[in-house]
Amino acid sequence: MDTLKLLSRSTGLRKSRQQAQHTTPSSGQPTQPQVLRRVEHVAKPSKKRKRGDHGPSSLDDGLGGLDFFGDAANASSKPAKSPKNDGAEDGDNLEQDQTVSSVEHVVQTPTDEEVRATLKQHKLKVTWLNPMTSQAGPKRKAGNLDDQGYTAPTEVQMGALPLLLDALDRYLDSHGEDSKPVGNMNLLTVAPTGSGKTLAFMIPLLHRVQTRRHGNEAANMNTVSAIVLAPTKELVSQITNEGRKLAKGTGIKVTQMRRGMRLATSQAANGTTDSATVGQDLTVKVDVLISTPGLLHSMLGEEQSSANDSLCNVRDLVLDEADVLLDPLFREQTLGVWNRLSNSKLSVSLWSATMGSNIEELAASTIRDWRSNLSSSDAEAEPEAPFIRLVVGLKDSAVPNVEHRLVYAATEQGKLMGLRQLLHPASTPQGSGTPLLPPFLIFTQTIERAVALHSELLYDIPAEAGGISRIAVLHADLSDTARDSVMTRFRKGEIWVLITTDLLSRGVDFRGVNGVVNYDIPTSSAAYVHRVGRTGRAGREGGVAVTLYSKEDIPYLKHVANVVAMAQKQEGSSSKDSGLQQWLLDALPKLSKQEKQKLKKRGIESRTTRGKDDDPKAARRTRISSKPGFVRQAENNRKGAVLGSQRRAQAEAEAPSEAGDDSDFAGFD
C-alpha cells in the first residue's frame, strides 16, 4: 500500500479504512479527534486572569459548568484550568479562560456511551450529529458527516456548535433576560491548529442558510447568503471542498470565487432581470461564497451600484485565519468586503489559532462602526448582536502532540547539511529523536530561497525512489494551474518533500504530513504556531517540527523558543529532546516591539534580496548553496572564460575573410 496516499483528504476517515492506514506516525488514531488530551489528574487549582471589565455579554458565568475537556467521571467537579499562559506574547487585555492543564495525560478513545455522557453532562446540544432527527436538512447534513467518518466532535466543535446553533437562545432564556431569540451573533474563536474549526463554522453556516431557505426568506434564494473569506487560494478551495461535502444533497450551492465571476443580484435572482441576461453575463447563483478578500473586493469594485447589490442578502460572514485577514496585508480588502454588507441581521465570526488583542479590538470596533452605518430604522428594528469570544486550550500556543526540535546549524551551509541529513534518515545519529519521514513540508522565508533550495535538493532523492518527481516547490509566483497541480500531487502522495513559503502555513490541511522543517525561522510566534500546525492535526501523534537556526538567527529566536517551551510544558516532555535548554531560553535576547514588527514585516534582512539591487555582494549572500563562495567564484570565472572563447570563435567565423568576396562588391558610387 502506498502509505503516502494518506495525504488525500478524500481518503476519508471511514472505519474500514482506518485500520489499514496506521502506518505513518502522524496518521495516528483518527477516531479520537481531541487535539487536547483528556485530563486525568488536575494538579493545579483554577486561575482566572481578569483584566478589564467584563460586560454582561461574557458567557463564562452563564455557562460556568462547561468543561469541554474534563473527564466525564468528574463532570460535577469544577472545570480543569491551566497554569498561566507565560508564552503568549500578546498583551491580551480581556479575560482569558485557560481551560486545560494536566500533569499526567491519558490518551484514551472514549466509547460511544462516554461521548454521549460527556455531551449530556456538559449540557451540549450537538444536533448535527444526530441522524435520527426528523428534519430532512439536518438529517442530510448528519448523513454527510457520517459519510466522512466523523463520530465525535472536537473541542472547538463542542464549544462553538451549540453557541452558533441555538444554545444562546436558551442561555438568555435561562437567565430571565430578553427571551427573544437572538437571530444574529458575533463570535471570535481561538482554537489550536488542526482542531476542526472548518466544520465548526461550516455546519452552523449551512444550517442557517438552509433554515432561511425554508423560511419566509425564500424570495432571496440564489443570491449570496453567506461569505467565507480565507487568505489563500489553496485554503479557499479546501474550504469549498469541505463545504460541498457537507452540503451534498441539501441543494445549497457552495462556490469558490473565480476571476471574472459575477454574482446574481437580488433583482436577477427574483426574476426582475430576465434569465437570458443572467446567462449571457455568466452570472452565477450562489448560496455560500468562498473567496480570498482580494478577489471579492475587486469584483465589488467593478459592481456599478450597491442598490442592486449582489451581497445585500448576506447574513453570515466568516473570517477564517482572521488575524491574517485583519493584518495590514489584507486589512483594506477584508474591511472593504465587510463594510459593503448591508443586511442588518449580519452575523460575523472570526476564527484562528492565534489572535492578538489588537485584532480583537479591531473586530469589536469594526462591528460597532458597521452598526453605526445602518439606517436608523434598521438599527432600531435589529437589537445589537452579542459578541462572544471562545478560547479552546491555551491561546496562541503550538499543538503539544508534535515533537518540537530546535537545531543549531551555525551557518547557511550548516543548515543545508542539516536538511540533507533529515532527508536521509538512515544517516541520522541514534538517539536524535524521531526520524523525519516523508511526506514533509519545508518552509523558507522568501520565494527566491524556496526556488533555490528546490534546485539544491532536486537530486537528493535517488532515482529508484522516484527522484526529482518526489520533490517540488510551491509559491505565489507560480500560475494557478501549477499551484493546483502541486497541491493535488502532494495530497495524492506523489510528492514527498514540498518546499514552500508561508503561503501554505495557514489553514491548509494535509492529512498525514509527518513533519515540518523551518529551514528559515518563522518571523513571529504566530507564524511558528501555524507552520508547525500543518502536522499533528486532529490530535494525531508522531509529527515532528524541526527548526534549523544559524548564528544570524539567534537575535530573532526568542519568540520561537517561547512557543516551543510552552508546548513542552503542556506535553510534559523534556527540554533536552528539543535542544531547548533553560539556559538558552534565558540567554536569548528579547526583541523590542518595533523590532518585532519590523521582523514580521520584512523578515530577516540577510535573507531577502529586496532593496539589494545595488549591492550584488549582499544579494549573493541571500542565496542558498552548498558550495562555498570561492568555489562558486572559481566556477563563474571558468564559465566566463568558456563563454568568452565561444563568443570569440563565433565572431571570427562570422567576420568576412581578409580577401573579401568580390562578387558581393557593389562598387563605389
Ligand X SMILES: Nc1ncnc2c1ncn2[C@@H]1O[C@H](COP(=O)(O)OP(=O)(O)OP(=O)(O)O)[C@@H](O)[C@H]1O
Residues lying near ligand X in the complex (CB under 6 A): 13, 30, 33, 150, 152-154, 157, 191, 193-199, 353, 507, 509, 511, 533, 537-538
Residues ≥6 apart with Cβ < 8 Å to 519: 415, 419, 442, 443, 444, 449, 453, 499, 548
Give the containing element (helix H, strand E) for 350: strand 347-352
Nearer to ligand X, 33 or 543 (CB): 33
Q: Nearer Cβ to ligand X, position 21 or 310?
A: 21
Ramachandran category for residue 295: left, alpha or beta (phi over 0 → left; psi -120 to 50 → alpha): alpha
Rounded to a whole number of angstroms, the distance between the first and last alpha carbons of the chain is 84
Residue with Cβ nearer ligand X (232 or 347): 232
Round to whole Å and give the CA distance between 15 and 284: 38
CA–CA gap between residue 490 and residue 467 (Å, rounded): 15
Between 62 and 153, CB nearer to ligand X: 153
Q: Cβ 504 to ligand X, closest distance in Å?
A: 11
Return the number of the residue (57 or 148) whose C-beta is nearest ligand X.
Answer: 148
Tell the smallest beta-carbon distance from residue 198 to ligand X (Å). 3
CB of 398 to ligand X, least distance (A): 11
User: Treating both helix axes as pointing N-terminal to C-terminal, what angle do 357-372 and 328-340 enclose, rounded to 10 degrees?
Assistant: 30
User: 661 φ, ψ to 5°?
Assistant: -120, 105
Which amino acid belongs to residue 112? D
Q: How many CB atoms lie within 10 A of CB 375?
A: 10
Examine residue 439 and say whether the peptide bond preceding it is cis (omega within 30 degrees of 0): yes
| Nearer of residues 449 and 537 to ligand X, judged by Cβ | 537
Helix crossing, 197-214 with 155-162: angle to 10°? Answer: 30
H or E element at residue 258 = none
* Cell reading at 450: 524556496
Cell of 523: 518571523
What's the closest the beta carbon of residue 441 comes to ligand X, in angstroms? 13
Q: Which residue has the cell 443572467?
A: 278
Q: Is 313 or 505 the residue whose CB approaches ligand X more closely?
A: 505
Alpha helices in 458-592 (DSSP H): 480-492, 525-532, 558-571, 575-578, 582-587
State in angstroms the smallest separation of the CB of 31 from ligand X: 8
By the 8 A CB rule, do 185 and 390 touch? Answer: no
Q: Which is nearer to ligand X, 195 or 347 (CB)?
A: 195
Closest approach of ligand X to the CB of residue 120, in Å: 18
Task: Decide whether 197 or 558 has the Cβ nearer to ligand X.
Answer: 197
Closer to ligand X at the Cβ: 299 or 504? Answer: 504
Taking the complex as a whole, the smallest distance from the CB of residue 510 to ligand X amounts, in Å, to: 9
Residue 292 has, within 13 A of its CA and on its CB side, a CA count of 15
Side-chain half-sphere of 56: how many Cα atoms within 13 Å?
7
Give 147 or 217: the residue with its C-beta nearer to ligand X: 147
Amino acid, res. 192:
P
- Minimal distance, residue 149 CB to ligand X, in Å: 7
Cα(72)–Cα(52) distance, rounded to whole angstroms? Answer: 33
- Report which of 343, 251, 262 is spatially closest to residue 295, judged by C-alpha positions: 262
Residue 25 or 194 having the CB closest to ligand X: 194
Minimum CB separation of residue 157 from ligand X in Å reads 6
Rounded least distance, CB 497 to ligand X, Å = 20
- Minimum distance from residue 346 beta carbon to ligand X (Å): 22
User: How far apart are CB 358 and ligand X at their closest, in Å?
Assistant: 19
CA–CA separation, 182 and 168 (whole Å)? 7
Q: Report yes or no: 364 and 538 within 8 Å, Cβ to Cβ.
A: no
d(C-alpha 171, C-alpha 340), whole Å: 31
Give the residue with the Cβ less far from ligand X, 366 or 535.
535
Residues in the chain: 669
Beta bridge partners of 263: 284
Nearest distance from C-beta of residue 472 to ligand X, angstroms: 21
